[in-house]
Amino acid sequence: MSSVKVGLLGFGTVGQGIASVLARNADEITRRCGRRVEVTHAAVRDVAKAQAAAAEANLDIQITDDAASVVSHPDIDIICEVMGGEQPALDLCLSALAHGKHISTANKALVAVHGNTLFAAAQKYKVMFGFEPSVAGGIPVIKAVREGLAGNRINSVAGIINGTGNFILTAMTDQGRDFNDVLQEAQALGYAEADPSFDVDGVDAAHKLTLLASIAFGMPLKFDEVLIEGIRNIEQEDVVHANELGYAVKHLGIARRRNIEGKTAVELRVHPTLIPQRQLLANVHGVMNAVLVDSDAVGQSLYYGPGAGSEPTGSAAVADVIDMVRALGSDPTHQVPPLAFQGNALEDIPVLGADDIETGFYCRITAEDKPGVMADIAGIFGKHNISLEAILQKEPDADNAADENAATLLPIVLLSHQVREGVMRQAIAEVEALQSVPSAVVLLRVENL
């Protein structure tokens, strides 16, 4: 049989990883899927640069700056979209689908925002749309949740799904450094972009969580309803206090199924989180990713590995390609649905707002060091039926103590048991209104997973 030909949209880090994996492991891949698979074309902005990269890797690929010619090429069977961004990637993918091409993409923003449209188009044109490389790089978590756990009712998914944020928090924890200092190092090492907003503000993780949640719960993609908080405001002293209390600060994406008065709802949230140091997720360091899935039959399962990189992400794309080669010529109704559930069986499950999330909380309150302050604070928490797990009262602030004219301030750190977030925020507003509390309370969520 003739070989299966792959066209790339983009030939940067991931595109070169795809081509490299397919070329190096060509014989093994042929044995797995029954036909030889080769990259024949790539569309790029800088043709000369891509040609030089292909020549250096000894890859025989036709390079062009005309992406439309690649997606419509009659000899190309599969498109790997690795150019990033929503446009022109969306239009090119829709065109490729209309031309009967299967697609694998590493573009989590494209799928999280436009996936519902793309999946419908793939169904219309009876082709496959894969996105394994778009979540957690080389970790095959999409396939694990969509297929390996297909017999389970999934209760929750929680993960470290952005390596840049994890690198920064790891260095803040292990080396006692401040956020801005570590961010500069991450940029110098190439882990963070010149504009790191998508990573440190949580958008990248929210894109990935959107995909995981839809596969886990059988719901349409709902990126616009994800609660998103980044790590820019994490202060070194809170990392230290968390450590003293036996917790690590991690930037997590959490999707959890909830039963509210007999009806199903879900929490979709990305934010800094305190988790117990004894847990495996707390010990995922540097740029590594990990996803913890809780399901009824299996229980907890953890998927760990590199969340980015040329060949790890290329490996995930090649896995999609192999699935597509195996399916060539088959009945499309027998293919695995993109979101695990049949398209007409997706359930529009409501997403809970921030006030209805239930979790524990870490609170750092800077208060005047005088009698009755702790009683006032405890009284407010008691009034709202907020149970406290731990209290850590620190020494007065050294700079403030040196000023004879200023009231002595000291940090009070509280850990609460699980409580509805709306209730906690009401209590915090009352604490901040106390004359003895001159600054805003630092509030971080706590998860025992």
Q: Please report, for the domain that includes residue 413, its CATH number.
A: 3.30.70.260
Tell me: do 180 and 130 sit in the same domain: no
Positions in the chain whose pLDDT score sits under 50: none
Do both 294 and 318 map to the same domain?
no
- The reply to whether 167 and 91 lie within a common domain is no
- Rounded to whole angstroms, how far apart are CA atoms 172 and 190? 18
Residues 8/41, Cβ–Cβ less than 8 Å: yes
Beta strands in 147-298 (DSSP E): 154-160, 227-228, 247-260, 263-276, 288-295
Domain's final residue, options 285, 319, 344? 344
Task: Give the H/E segment covering residue 342.
Answer: none
| Residue 208 known to be catalytic | yes
Query: According to the model, what pLDDT value does residue 412 have?
Result: 93
Are residues 255 and 178 located together in one domain of the fold?
yes
145 & 291 share domain: yes
Question: What is the model's pLDDT at position 397?
Answer: 60
Same domain? 382 vs 290: no
91 and 24 co-located in one domain:
yes
| 98 burial via Cβ count (<10 Å: 0-12, 13-18, 19+) | middle
Q: Write the Ramachandran bin of 438: left for phi over 0, alpha for psi from -120 to 50, otherwise beta.
A: alpha
Position 394 scores a pLDDT of 73
> What's the pTM?
0.94
- Give the alpha-carbon dihedral of 130, 133, 135, 137, to 10 degrees: 160
Domain that includes residue 70, residue range = 4-135+310-344
Task: Specify whether 201 is located in the same domain as 232.
Answer: yes
Residue 351 lies in a domain: no
What gap in Å lies between CA 362 and CA 448, rounded to an integer? Answer: 13
pLDDT of residue 408: 87
Q: Has residue 352 been placed in a domain?
A: no
| Contact (Cβ atoms closer than 8 angstroms) between residue 192 and residue 200 | yes
Residue 85 CB neighbour total at 10 angstroms: 11
Task: Kindly report, residue by residue over 111-167, the tens digit of the pLDDT.
Answer: 999 999 999 999 999 999 999 999 998 999 999 999 999 999 999 999 999 999 999
List the catalytic residue out of 101, 108, 143, 208.
208
Would you state the pLDDT for residue 342?
87
Q: Can you tell me the distance from the alpha carbon of 131 to that of 317, in angstroms, rounded to the nearest whole number?
A: 8
